[in-house]
Amino acid sequence: MSLDLDLALALPGFALEARFVAAGAVTALFGRSGAGKTVLTRLLAGHLRPDRGHIRLGARVLVDTGARIFVPPHRRRIGTVFQDGRLFPHLTVRGNLLYGGWFNRGAAGPKLDEIVDLLGIESLLARHPGGLSGGEKQRVAIGRALLAAPALLVLDEPLAALDAPRKAEILPYLELLRDRLNLPMVYVSHALDEVVRLADTLVLLEAGRVRAAGPIGEIMTRLDLGPGPGTGRTEAGAVLAARVETIDRSYGLATLSFPGGSLRVPAAGLEPGQALRLHIRARDVAIALGPPRDVSILNALPVTIAEMAEDAGAVELRLVLGPQLLVARITRLSAEALSLRPGLVVHALIKSVAFDRGVGAGVS
Amino acid sequence: MLSPVEAAALELSLQVSFWAVMGSLPVAIALAYVLARGVFRGRALLAALVNLPLVLPPVVTGYVLLLLFGRHGPIGARLEAWFGIVLAFRWTGAALAAAVMGLPLMVRAIQLSLEAVDPGLEQAAAGLGAPRAAVFATVTLPLALPGLLAAALLGFAKSLGEFGATITFVSNIPGETQTLPIAIYSLLQVPGSDAAVLRLALLSIAVSLGGVLAAELVAGRLKRRLAG
């Protein structure tokens, strides 16, 4: 099911003009605060009317200003999980979870037991939201949205109000939803690590406009997008889908393979055959002209320089590795000393890798 | 303990106040919702009309009611012809007078409590598939319940004490329209009835105090429950 959206809305002091088509399972709306993420989710949910444009979800037209179509919020079947949870304080957790069921009797959605089990909220059912922790509230809010049998789930900064341990508590559940339920999601965030872990399509918002939209691996390695919004360029890098091939117990190392190469990383928490997503940050990739000797870095991959761009005194390289792209960020001095230029074959030294299972590891 | 006249006045006062609140509460909720959430032309005029009984001399309000709802008034005549309902000089008229006088207070209290309900929760409910009326019934109203209760209490207290509009509209008929304040006023006209006046005044104080205390207790419990 694809989300096709083309909207224009002028508000006092802010103008939104956004247009993209997202066909993936998880589409991330990424940008710093004020970029228009929240306005876009409100337009999706139907709490704001656009001046002009359309929203189509699969075959359904939710908004079309030309055809004077505006489906009201309660008929859109778009479930939203808000940053602040927004649980009903006068109902128990069970009452909150069942709320959507009163109005969606015809729709074939998940069962209460199934969702309660999936989110591990069995013990909370009889309680009121006031006594729940932030992480528990968000799990209940996710369950409540799912039980309304939505056609699209919008997660509006669901982790922004949580501290790091609570985030680590919720992220696996979001991955579980992505992998288990056949439900398209829009994930709104200004945290790149969450986006990289969950999304397959990235929509980069900047000052009310779509700066770039496309598969996450492609957007993340583009050099023309400039400093990463909100997080600084330091988080930019490549996103690869990989598999755990073998595990060497004597050294505690796992070999990960992906189209175009393989990497060795600490095996902690990994199982053979496991699929995971790697995030290789540009700042964690160094360049050597030949195959490196006498270095502690385990991973050196032969790559071809495709593109170079200067950015604030540093040089960013887009590197071709089989069908994959990597990004490296090095100093201008190094780039000149090594006479780097597009087309040159070099070795990319990977200093560290982050996985989507939440275990990040240095591999030097 | 109470003389038959006192008992009749007390019973009538409670009956009039009860029905005044029951009758005006739905109207007050509707008006408060429209004033709290509505954006429309004439909003200020509506707010002014609702508040009019607060600033008019009660005698004037009673007189207007008499003109409109009297047996020959434009509304009163039709009510009698179509439904056989007569308000003038009946206890039901006393209830109407009390309801009109209490309405501004109730609307104000309910409006404040509706405005305190987080619109984010209403949006969340709509996102879960609830039509607007269902959102109001299942989210807005329950969350505004402490305010609703406070409004009902305020209306009840106002009705118990209503005098000017009531005596103008429905006069002073023992057993029919002679509520506690009107009974006290009548006794004050009779020389040597100081003790009887004092008894009725104390009765009036006791009833009002009991009502306020009960509502405080219930509102406190509701608030604790909403806070989780």
**What is the complex's ipTM, to 2 decimals?**
0.79
Integer Cα distance of B39 and B51 in angstroms: 19
- What pTM was estimated for this model as a whole? 0.75
Interface test with chain A among B113, B122, B128, by most A beta carbons within 10 Å: B128
CA distance B155 to B215: 12
Cα distances (Å, whole numbers) of residue A139 to A87, A93, A104, A135, B27: 11, 10, 21, 6, 40
pLDDT at residue A295, as a whole number = 84
How far is the C-alpha of B180 from the C-alpha of B161, rounded, in Å? 8
Res A233: pLDDT: 46
SS3 assignment, position A50: coil
Residue span of the structural domain in which B118 resides: 4-227
Q: Strands, E, within A161-248: which ranges?
A: 185-189, 201-206, 209-215, 237-248
Asked if A5 and A19 count as a contact pair (C-beta separation under 8 A), the reply is: yes
A145 chain-B contacts, CB cut-off 8 A: 127-128
Taking a contact as any Cβ pair under 8 Å apart, which residues of chain B between 101 and 130 contact chain A?
A: 118, 120-121, 123-130
Domain count, chain B: 1
Measured between beta carbons, the chain A residues lying within 8 angstroms of B121 are 86, 88
Taking the C-alpha atoms of residue A90 and residue B114, their distance in angstroms, rounded to an integer, is 15
Q: In this complex, is the C-beta atom of A49 within 8 Å of any C-beta atom belonging to chain B?
A: no
The reported pLDDT for the residue numbered A72 is: 93
* Level-2 CATH architecture, domain A3-220: 3-Layer(aba) Sandwich (3.40)
Q: For residue B210, what is the domain's CATH number?
A: 1.10.3720.10
Q: What is the pLDDT of residue B218?
A: 79
Please name the member of B118, B128, B226 whose beta carbon is closest to the beta carbon of A100: B128
pLDDT for A107 equals 67
How high is the mean pLDDT in each 10-residue block of chain A (364 residues)? 89 90 87 86 92 92 92 92 91 93 76 87 91 89 91 90 81 82 88 82 88 82 56 63 87 87 84 83 87 85 86 83 84 90 90 60 39
pLDDT at residue A235, rounded to an integer: 62
| Sequence-distant contacts of A62-69: CB under 8 A, at least 24 apart | A63/A7
Closest Cβ opposite residue B121 in set A73, A86, A128:
A86
Question: Does residue B138 carry a pLDDT above 90?
Answer: yes
How far, in Å, CA of A220 to CA of B2, rounded? 86
On the question of pLDDT at B96 being above 50, the answer is yes
Among B138, B143, B228, beta carbon nearest to A128: B228
Q: What residues of A are in contact with residue B132 (Cβ under 8 Å)?
A: 74
> Percent of chain B beyond pLDDT 70?
98
Domain extents for chain A?
A: 3-220, 274-362
Residue range A274-362 forms a domain whose CATH class is mainly beta
Smallest CA–CA distance, residue B144 to chain A, in Å, is 10
